Structure 1
Amino acid sequence: MTTGKPTPTIAQWIALLDFRDRYGRTWKDALWTKWGNGQDHYEPHAADLHAVRNHADFGPSWLHGLKPDLLQRQRERFTLTLAHRDDNTVRAEQEAVASALANDDGHKWADMTPEAQAPYTRKATLAMLALSNLRYQREQGR
């Protein structure tokens, strides 16, 4: 049973976080402009940005109302704080993100072979590492 409002998928959150990190404090205006002129097609994660724009519950008006604290909570879901985590925790988080990405594509993680899981594990690792690196750079004032 699902309750509450629909939320973007993990891949869509990652696309939004990546876009925000690349465009800075005016990222919403940049995304609205790209959505309006079709330039979002050339962005990394273009399909996920399109999906947010075209979803009945999201789009430009949803983006306008998106609060920074909600986006930050989503970032914290995917960001590794390696200094404070052990390897088992990191692996568990990686598997959780990979599983969610697979589920977003309509696959059941438990039923997948290791070979079928591998691309999702790579995506999860890259996404989590990229977000961790951005967080570290921001903490270092870069």
Structure 2
Amino acid sequence: MTKLFWAVTIIFLMTNSLIAQTKKENSLTEPTNKDSTFLNNPKFQEEHSQFSSKFEHQLKNIYKEKALFGDFIFAVVDENGLAYSFAINREILNGKKSSLNNNSLMYIASSTKSFTGTLLKILEQKKVLNLNNSLDDYLLN
């Protein structure tokens, strides 16, 4: 683990093809290819200079290999907030204009419940918290 405290390493957000199609038809933003990659934190860039190109290359290969559809936004968050994010869908992959960018609204439904539950279980395994304790034990007064 690096010196960075990673509250969340990758946030995986996906919409199904119906929602993606509806969003394209009712898009609030002009279609564009810009902003599919966002590097916000200079320290992150310095410490992980090859991360962006390698990560994006791998994701594009997976997207093609698995014949995925829908919109995906991946993000890395460190102690300073958003350090990196990358958006991908069929249009971006094929070099076409897309309304998807790092400012796009995403329909995430209840997927955050699974994400939160997984993080809580990890914290319990690391002895940071006990899921059998009262929530009051962890809230600030």
TM-score (norm 1): 0.28
Greater strand fraction, Structure 1 or Structure 2: 2
Structure with higher Rg: it is 2
Q: Which has the higher helix share?
A: 1
